[in-house]
Amino acid sequence: MALLINDNCTACDACKPVCPNEAIAAGDLVYTIDALRCTECVGAEDEPQCKLVCPADCIVQNPDFQETPEELMAKYESLHG
């Protein structure tokens, strides 16, 4: 499943540069994660890098995107050819 950034985001920009899929962008008040690009770092890393670097602990599971590890890998492969 993809991740999302909740309202506790401080817009510190720590998460954006570590995303291997360029799924994170600055929103109006907080950063956002494009669920169609987020693979939770499957295919690139062992765990979501954005969650590791977030000082506000505001990156959580997106309940609207239930995906298996296989689906996340297929999404990663489609993004990176």
The pTM assigned to this predicted structure is: 0.93
Best CA proximity match to 32, nearest among 70, 1, 59: 59
CATH fold label, 3-80: Alpha-Beta Plaits (3.30.70)
* Domain map (residue ranges) of the chain: 3-80
| Contact between residue 20 and residue 49 where contact means Cβ atoms under 8 Å apart | yes
Encode the chain (81 residues) as per-residue pLDDT tens digits. 799 999 999 999 999 999 999 999 999 999 999 999 999 999 999 999 999 999 999 999 999 989 999 999 999 999 998
Residue 55 is predicted with a pLDDT of 98
* The amino acid at 21: N
Question: Mapped to the 3 state alphabet, what secondary structure does 18-70 carry?
Answer: HCCCCCEEECCCCEEECCCCCCCCCCCCCCCHHHHHCCCCCEEECCCCCCCHH
Residue 1 is predicted with a pLDDT of 76
